[in-house]
Amino acid sequence: MTAAISCENLTKKFGALLAVDNVSMTIPKGSIVGFLGPNGSGKSTVIRMLSGILTPTSGTGQVLGYNILTDSERIKHHIGYMSQKFSLYEELSVSDNLDFYAGIYGLKGESARKKKAELIDMAGLTGREKQIAGSLSGGWKQRLALSCALLHDPEILILDEPTAGVDPVSRRIFWEVIRELAKRGITVLVSTHYMDEAETCDFIYFIFFGKLLISGTPLELKEQAKAATLDDVFIGLVESQENNLLRGGELPHA
């Protein structure tokens, strides 16, 4: 197995707050990996450390062979990052946003034009090129944001709760695009609260209060917990850990 992303004992402290506690994981190239956990569990902090945006307090990690401590700028050139909050320019049109980010990534001329046309088609944005981004619905905004994240042909796509607040139809279309990208060999790391999305992932990591609790394929996790659905797996897991904390116990981790 060739790893696209790996980390060992990744830890992040903000003052006295231990946000991420010794997280270790390995993500194979070309896979879709779901990163799950309640709000405030540390998912986004792990993602930002792996993206080279945030420096770990301790621990090590590699992204496509680059060290997250010393090669953060190189890592940024090889990943596409998309956050939950729409981060593009709302006063610009769909076309102008794509042109702006193409310029940031150094794409010019015919290559930029072809890539832009390809992504507009992929995202179903044909006919909306002149529409102001701020007037788009949540689902269309996320498709535009995804297109901008893919302009430079990243080998890894990191999505931080990309479909939060998006309607079910748009979520389904969004995930159809993600699966197609994975077929092309792009590695996808996605944090999500939606169990129907998690079911389609190749592998799942579950983090709670900064600790990695369990990991495995959706089927493995359901079989281990003797549960019918991933909802049952994670609700049961959260309840047991919260009860353990109330008794003054420690959170176990994977």
Instruction: For residue range 68-77, list pLDDT tens digits in order.
Output: 999 999 998 8
Q: CA-CA distance, 79 to 205, in Å (whole number)?
A: 20
* Residue 76 neighbours by CB under 8 Å, 6+ apart: 51, 52
Asked whether the CA dihedral 63, 68, 74, 76 is positive or negative, the reply is: positive
| pLDDT top residue among 117 and 244 | 117
Q: CA-CA distance, 146 to 124, in Å (whole number)?
A: 12
Q: Quick check: 249 pLDDT over 90? A: no
Q: Please give the pLDDT value at position 96.
A: 94
Across residues 53-73, what is the average pLDDT?
Answer: 94
Q: Please give the pLDDT value at position 7.
A: 95
Q: Please give the pLDDT value at position 173.
A: 86
How many percent of the chain have pLDDT more than 70? 95
Q: CA-CA distance, 216 to 195, in Å (whole number)?
A: 14
Q: Please give the pLDDT value at position 248.
A: 65
pLDDT tier at 250, thresholds 50, 70, 90: low
- Quote the DSSP letter at residue 219: H
Q: CA-CA distance, 187 to 5, in Å (whole number)?
A: 9
Among 3.30.43.10, 3.40.50.300, 3.30.1180.10, 1.20.120.1750, name the CATH number for the domain at 3-85+156-246. Answer: 3.40.50.300
Across residues 182-209, what is the average pLDDT?
Answer: 91
pLDDT digits (tens, 9 = 90+) for 5-47: 999 999 999 999 999 999 999 999 999 999 998 888 899 899 9
Q: Please give the pLDDT value at position 41.
A: 87
Tell me the backbone φ, ψ of residue 31, rounded to 5 degrees: -100, 160
Gap between the terminal Cα atoms of the chain: 20
Across residues 100-123, what is the average pLDDT?
Answer: 91
Across residues 148-156, what is the average pLDDT?
Answer: 93
Paired tokens of 247: 């008794």
Paired tokens of 81: 């990052």
Neighbours of 24 (CB within 10 A): 17
Q: CA-CA distance, 178 to 32, in Å (whole number)?
A: 8
Q: Please give the pLDDT value at position 142.
A: 87
Q: Please give the pLDDT value at position 39.
A: 81
Q: Please give the pLDDT value at position 251.
A: 52
Sheet holding 66-67, edge to edge: 17-28, 3-14, 58-63, 66-67
| Cβ atoms 148, 88 nearer than 8 A | yes
pLDDT digits (tens, 9 = 90+) for 156-178: 999 988 887 778 888 888 888 89
Residue type, 84: Q
Paired tokens of 59: 């621990």
pTM for the whole structure: 0.87
Q: How many CA atoms lie within 13 A of 44 on its CB side?
A: 11
Mean pLDDT of the chain: 89
How many percent of the chain have pLDDT more than 90? 57
Q: CA-CA distance, 153 to 26, in Å (whole number)?
A: 22
